[in-house]
Homo-oligomer: A and B are copies of this chain.
Amino acid sequence: MSESQSEEFKAIRSPNLVDQVADHLTEAIIVGRFTPGERLSEVGLARSLGVSRAPIREAARLLESRGLLVSQPRRGFFVRALDAGELEDIFDLRLCLERHAMEHLAHACSAETLLALHRQVEVLCRAAASGSENRRIEEDLAFHRMMIAAVGNRRLLKGFDDLAHELRLCITLITKTHEDPDTIADCHHLLLDALASGEPARCREAIDYHIGVARDYVVSGVGESRQKSLAY
């Protein structure tokens, strides 16, 4: 109760231009309004958003730390362009973090956590059925975030959140068709069953498979879209 109150207050006290600009830029990048590698003009952004350059610069620094932008001294900020190698790296790190989480949860997963995860899978399936690619991605990430959050390690969660931004960046690269809700459900129930069993080896196998599928999904998607666009 007092928490909801404080959150409400926090919502009020957010006239932070930096955060607003950061959110705006983040969405613009995620939905692909900028092309990868594109240079961002500080003055241009400042003019188009109706603010000064200072908030732009600070927001850009923030996004740089999240891996959405890269900066070159005296040249400005560019939207991060991922090559195949970086893509592999990102999914390898994701595997690293989620393996750790799974291993921890294998022998310390409360019934409530499992229930919450089951519910999230349902939400995810509904999102997939709705046809909105964006919502499906977000709910999928939310599931994995929930799993990692259950470990109780804030630093680990922060590491995942940072990585999640780059995962979203991966998604922008691909032009993908609809994914079957049933397949998604099965794919995630495999994880939950492994967790429920409490067997570390099975958990590891499950998460390895799950993330392997996700990686293949993205790299194949990137291949297709690259073939399609014929660029570079």
Say if the beta carbon of A153 comes within 8 Å of chain B: yes
Chain B residues near A153 (CB, 8 Å)? 88-89, 92-93
The residue on B at minimum CB distance from A57 is B58
Quick one: given A16-B73, A62-B65, A73-B13, are A155 and B57 in contact (CB under 8 Å)? Answer: no
The residue on B at minimum CB distance from A156 is B93
Residues facing B in A116-161 (CB within 8 A) are 153-156, 159
B57 touches A92 (CB 8 A): no
Copies per complex of this chain: 2
Say if the beta carbon of A86 comes within 8 Å of chain B: yes
Nearest CB on B from A157, distance (A) = 9
B86 touches A154 (CB 8 A): yes
Residues facing B in A37-76 (CB within 8 A) are 54, 57-58, 61-62, 65-66, 73-74
Say if the beta carbon of A90 comes within 8 Å of chain B: yes
The residue on B at minimum CB distance from A16 is B73
Say if the beta carbon of A96 comes within 8 Å of chain B: yes
> How far, in angstroms, from A54 to B57 measured CA to CA in the complex?
10
The residue on B at minimum CB distance from A90 is B155
Quick one: given A54-B54, A58-B57, A58-B61, are A159 and B13 in contact (CB under 8 Å)? Answer: no
Nearest CB on B from A99, distance (A) = 8
A89 touches B58 (CB 8 A): no
B54 touches A86 (CB 8 A): no
Nearest CB on B from A164, distance (A) = 13
Nearest CB on B from A81, distance (A) = 14
Say if the beta carbon of A100 comes within 8 Å of chain B: yes
Say if the beta carbon of A97 comes within 8 Å of chain B: yes
A154 touches B73 (CB 8 A): no
Chain A positions near chain B (C-beta within 8 angstroms): 13-14, 16, 54, 57-58, 61-62, 65-66, 73-74, 86, 88-90, 92-93, 95-97, 99-100, 153-156, 159, 163, 166
In the complex, 9 of the A-B residue pairs with CB atoms within 8 angstroms, ordered by the A residue number, are: A14-B73, A54-B54, A57-B58, A86-B155, A89-B155, A89-B156, A92-B153, A96-B96, A159-B159
